[in-house]
């Protein structure tokens, strides 16, 4: 980053040991199904760390355990019921979060609406696979084109369509996150729990298997998607919308990492850059009303 | 599991006890992380970045990987601030 502020440099220097401050106990149960370098497995683990202090566990998962499984086994088994089943009173405070793939967005938003009606705090975390493997409910048509240039455009356009749909449901807290920025992720989950109402966090999860890059570059890919503005990280609460991670890199920074995408022409790259600019234009410095309350 | 004669299942022994044996022996892993304690300053970033919770704290605040869980993705080496982790080829 060229334009680092003095405070950022300070934080950069001293946040090196920040992982030491996180809960050391391991609530996450490593699965054998997830691929090497799985972004979603890391996201689930970060969520487990963020929820460890509040002792609240996602709906549908056994207390104290979070599991992850890879595609095509439909990931996190959290949507057991089709409606927001009320838990026994003793365990009611445990139901704080639910998560699912973007394909189950409608179901998750329905749970959110039901929780809101019952005035119960509820956080819905929706995973967006980088390769767009899951079928998005927000728009029709196929979404799996990792081997085409237009694939990048389609994938990120559909993610934005999903986010738009979730924003239209007016949650009390709305944010986007990525495991490539783990501390930002943890802060947002904590903020969503603090707000006490319904929350929605859209999380981009890098997928090395889907995009066929080196698993070691998993976090790098997520970072590039954020830094280029293809998936900007922001939070919206109390009527204001703020960008939490600066996005200054050009779109070519992300496309360069995609081995399945053939040589990109100038026009196609321009289209991807336009999408990134559009995402950022809607955010920076603009006040957006999210909740009617 | 439906097995096709001469297919990928037969070649790699998927669905038979061969794949179970291969998993138990970590024969599928190509690389494993090796920590250089001279360079490691115990920040714990590798511990946080591991998607399989395979990196664990060991003596004197250093970290090491659990060979039973590690899939050899190399994310720990990628996030290391001081290049203290190298991915060494797995000896089969």
CA gap A58, A45 in Å, rounded: 12
Contacts of B72 in chain A (CB under 8 A): 36
Most confident of A35-39, A74-78, B24-28: A35-39
Which chain A residues have a beta carbon less than 8 Å from that of B52? 30, 34, 41
| Predicted confidence (pLDDT) at residue A233 exceeds the cutoff of 90 | yes
pLDDT higher than 80, residue A172: yes
- CB contacts of A32 in chain B (<8 Å) are 23
A252 domain residue, yes or no: no
The predicted-structure confidence for A238-260, as pLDDT tens digits, reads as follows 777 888 888 888 988 898 888 76
Question: Does the residue A259 lie in any domain?
Answer: no
Which of B47, B51, B87 is closest, CB to CB, to A19? B47
Q: Number of helices and strands (H, E) in chain B? A: 4, 4
Give A267's contacts (C-beta < 8 A, 6+ positions apart).
none
Nearest CA in chain A to B53: A30
Model pLDDT, residue A181: 92
Coil vs helix vs strand at A195: helix
Closest residue to A30, CB basis, from B23, B57, B69: B69
What contacts A19, CB < 8 A, 6 or more positions away? B43, B44, B45, B47, B48
Distance (Å, whole) CA A41 – CA A209: 13
CB A177 within 8 A of CB A188: yes
| A20 and chain B in contact, CB less than 8 A | yes
Confidence of residue A274 (pLDDT cuts 50, 70, 90): very high
Distance CA A161, CA A132 (A): 13
Does A246 fall in a domain?
Answer: no
Structure letter (DSSP) for residue A86: P
Chain B residues whose beta carbon lies within 8 Å of the beta carbon of residue A218:
51, 73, 75, 78
Indicate whether A42 belongs to any domain. yes
| Closest residue on chain A to B51 (Cα) | A42
| Mean of pLDDT over chain A | 72
- Give residue B10's pLDDT band: very low, low, confident or very high (50, 70, 90): low
CB distance A129 to A205 below 8 Å:
yes
A216 touches chain B (CB under 8 A): yes
Q: What pLDDT is attached to residue A87?
A: 41
CB pairs A-B closer than 8 Å = 71
Number of domains in chain A: 1
Q: Which structural domain range is residue A30 located in?
A: 24-216
Pairwise pLDDT comparison (A25 vs B66), residue with the higher score: B66
E strand or H helix at B86: strand B85-89
Average pLDDT, chain B: 77
Assign A132 a pLDDT band (cuts: 50, 70, 90). Answer: confident
Cis? peptide before A61, omega within 30° of 0: no
Q: Is residue B13 part of a domain?
A: no
**In chain B, what residues touch A37 (CB-CB under 8 Å)?**
51, 71, 73-75
Using pLDDT thresholds of 50, 70 and 90, give the confidence band for residue B33: very high
Q: How far apart are CA A47 and CA A232, in angstroms?
A: 19
Rounded to an integer, the average pLDDT of A116-137 is 75
Cβ of B71 within 8 Å of Cβ of A36? The answer is yes
- Among A9, A198, A206, A226, smallest CA distance to A111 is for A198
Report the domain count for chain B: 1
DSSP code string of A89-129 = GGGGGGEEEEEEEGGGHHHHHHHHHHHHHTT--EEEEEEEE
**Chain A contacts in chain B segment 3-22 (CB below 8 A):** none
Kindly state whether residue A161 falls inside one of the protein's structural domains: yes
* Neighboring chain B residues of A20 at a CB cutoff of 8 Å: 42-44
Q: Give A96's pLDDT tier (boundaries 50, 70, 90).
A: low
The CA distance from A188 to A250, in Å, is: 26
**Residue A81 included in any domain:** yes
CATH code of the domain in which A72 resides: 3.40.50
In-domain check, residue B20: no
State what percent of residues in chain A have pLDDT above 70: 63
pLDDT tens by residue, A184-223: 998 898 888 888 788 899 999 898 888 888 899 999 999 9
- Contact present, A124 and A109 (Cβ < 8 Å): yes
Mean pLDDT of A105-112: 78
- The answer to whether residue B71 neighbours chain A at the CB level (below 8 Å) is yes
Angle between helices A149-168 and A266-281 (to 10 degrees): 10
A212 part of contact set with chain B, CB < 8 Å: no
Which residues form the domain of B59?
Answer: 29-89
Query: Does ipTM exceed 0.85?
Result: no
Sign of the torsion angle spanned by Cα atoms A40, A41, A46, A47: positive
Q: Name the packing angle between helices A105-117 and A149-168 (round to 10°).
A: 10
Q: Judge: B78–A219 Cβ closer than 8 Å, yes or no.
A: yes
Residue B78 within any structural domain of the chain: yes
Banded model confidence at residue A18, pLDDT cuts 50, 70, 90:
confident
**What whole-number distance in Å separates Cα of residue B77 and Cα of residue A30?**
19
| pLDDT surpasses 50 at A171 | yes
Q: C-alpha B4: how far from its chain's center?
A: 31
Of B57, B69, B77, the CB nearest to A216: B77
What is the nearest CA distance from A96 to chain B, expressed in angstroms?
A: 23
Domain at B53, CATH number:
3.30.70.20
- B1 domain-assigned: no
* Domain contains A221: no
Residue A176: the pLDDT is 95
Top pLDDT among A103 and B80 is at B80
Q: How far apart, in whole angstroms, are the C-alpha atoms of residue A171 and residue A234?
A: 15
A279 part of a folded domain: no
Are A30 and B79 an interchain contact pair (Cβ–Cβ within 8 Å)? no
Query: Worst-scoring range by mean pLDDT, A74-78, B24-28, B30-34?
Result: A74-78
Angstrom distance (rounded) from CA B8 to CA A208: 22
- The residues, any chain, with a CB within 8 Å of residue B7's CB and separated by 6 or more, are none
How sure is the predictor about A81, in pLDDT bands with cuts at 50, 70 and 90?
A: very low
Chain A residues close to B90, C-beta within 8 Å: none
β-partners of residue A242 are A235
Closest chain B residue to A37 measured between Cα atoms? B73
Instruction: State percent of chain A over pLDDT 90.
Output: 15
Residues of chain A neighbouring B23 (CB-CB closer than 8 A): 32
Domain-embedded: residue B46: yes
Inform me whether the pLDDT recorded for A4 exceeds 60.
no
Q: Are A17 and B69 inside 8 Å of each other by CB?
A: no
Do A222 and A175 form a contact (C-beta atoms < 8 A)? no
- Checking if the pLDDT of A34 tops 90, the result is no
> Which has more pLDDT, A133 or A293?
A133
């Amino acid at each position: 980053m060229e334009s680092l502020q003095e405070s950022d440099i300070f934080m950069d220097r001293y946040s090196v040991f920040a992982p030491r401050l996180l809960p050391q106990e391991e609530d996450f149960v490593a699965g054998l199904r997830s691929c090497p370098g799985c972004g979603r497995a890391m996201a689930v683990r970060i969520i487990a760390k963020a929820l460890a202090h509040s002792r609240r566990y996602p709906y549908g998962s056994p207390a104290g355990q979070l599991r992850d499984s890879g595609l095509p086994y439909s990931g996190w088994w959290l949507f057991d019921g089709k409606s927001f089943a009320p838990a026994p009173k003793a365990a009611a405070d445990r139901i704080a979060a639910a998560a699912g793939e973007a394909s189950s967005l409608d179901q998750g938003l329905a749970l959110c609406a039901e929780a809101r009606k019952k005035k119960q705090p509820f956080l819905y975390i929706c995973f967006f696979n980088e390769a767009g493997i899951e079928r998005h409910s927000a728009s029709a048509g196929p979404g799996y084109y990792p081997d085409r240039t237009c694939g990048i455009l389609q994938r990120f356009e559909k993610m934005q369509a999903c986010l738009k749909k979730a924003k239209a449901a007016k949650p009390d807290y709305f944010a986007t996150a990525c495991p490539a920025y783990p501390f930002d992720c943890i802060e947002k989950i904590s903020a969503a729990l603090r707000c006490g109402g319904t929350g929605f966090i859209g999380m981009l999860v890098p997928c090395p298997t889907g995009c066929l890059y080196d698993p070691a570059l998993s976090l790098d890919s997520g970072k590039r998607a954020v830094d280029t503005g293809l998936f900007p990280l922001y939070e919206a609460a109390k009527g204001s919308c703020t960008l939490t991670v600066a996005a200054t890199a050009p779109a070519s920074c992300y496309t360069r990492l995609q081995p399945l995408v053939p040589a990109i022409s100038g026009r196609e790259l321009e289209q991807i850059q336009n999408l990134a600019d559009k995402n950022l234009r809607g955010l920076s410095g603009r006040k957006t009303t999210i909740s009617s309350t | 599991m439906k097995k096709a004669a001469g297919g990928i299942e037969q070649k790699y022994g998927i669905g038979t006890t061969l794949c179970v044996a291969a998993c138990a022996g970590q024969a599928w892993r190509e690389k494993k992380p090796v920590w250089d304690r001279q360079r490691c300053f115990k920040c714990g970033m590798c511990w946080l970045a591991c998607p399989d919770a395979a990196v664990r704290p060991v003596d004197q605040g250093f970290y090491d990987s659990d060979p039973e869980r590690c899939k050899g993705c190399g994310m720990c080496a990628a996030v290391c601030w001081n290049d203290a982790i190298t991915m060494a080829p797995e000896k089969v």
